Amino acid sequence: MALILPPGESDPARLLDGLDGVVLSGGGDIAPHHYSGDAHESIYGVSDERDHFELELARAAVARPDLPFLCICRGMQILNVALGGDLYAHLPDLGCSTVEHRLPERMHTHHRARVAADSRLAARLGSLEVTVCSWHHQGISRLAPGLKAVAWADDGVIEAVEHESHASCIAVQWHPEMQLDDPAQQRLMRSFVALAAGSNP
């Protein structure tokens, strides 16, 4: 059974007691003050209530190494910021990207990502190169302690991370839930469900 956890709970950690797994989904940008970032005209959809809730939820989930934990797009950025990392406010400002991570008017697009051969993500995807559904304008700048980059776009932007000590924590910058006709993305989602059900993916 899927449950939605709305922001507003004063103690997000207690919500994990009755859950078999957690997914941090996509959404608007994180307020830059959470990672000592600067305001930028491209930042949109900020919700301080959601930020505070999900940052605490991410820290609590990481503290439970047996809890399957999948982070998607904004969710990956939340994970990185929650653990002490920071973000690029707007990837096009870097001026060196040859990859479209999002189309104008905030539309999704697709691009290639290469995956580290020794990663848990590669095992779940069953592939070292995937086409991903990309819908973001921000990305990881400084990687948080405890996280390891395991996938990259052709321009070097980090596309996925794993937690070094939490074996069931994987985060992707793309949207696998929008690619369920793709065998690799389907395997990723099925592996999470299997872990949450207590079986081998």
Catalytic member of 73, 101, 137, 162:
73
- Residue-averaged pLDDT of the chain: 95
Instruction: Report the percentage of the chain scoring pLDDT > 90.
Output: 91
Give yes or no for residue 195 having a pLDDT over 70: yes
- What pLDDT was estimated at residue 85? 98
Fill in the amino acid letter for 80: N
Residue 45 lies in a domain: no
Residue 134 lies in a domain: yes
CA pair distance 30, 50, nearest whole angstrom: 9
Structure tokens at 150: 């395991």
Residue 156 lies in a domain: yes
Catalytic annotation on 73?
yes
- Pairing mode, if any, of strands 169-172 and 69-72? parallel
Residue 150 lies in a domain: yes
Q: Contact 170/70 with Cβ under 8 angstroms?
A: yes
Tens digits of per-residue pLDDT, 80-100?
999 999 999 999 998 866 799
Range of the domain at 142: 67-201
Residue 103 lies in a domain: yes
CA pair distance 169, 67, nearest whole angstrom: 8
Instruction: Report the percentage of the chain scoring pLDDT > 70.
Output: 98
Q: What is the pTM of this model?
A: 0.96
CATH number of the domain at 195, please.
3.40.50.880
Counting the structural domains of the chain, the total is 1
Tens digits of per-residue pLDDT, 129-139?
999 999 999 99
Q: State the CB neighbour count (10 A cutoff) for residue 33.
A: 12
Catalytic member of 111, 163, 166, 175:
175
Catalytic annotation on 177?
yes
- What pLDDT was estimated at residue 201? 65
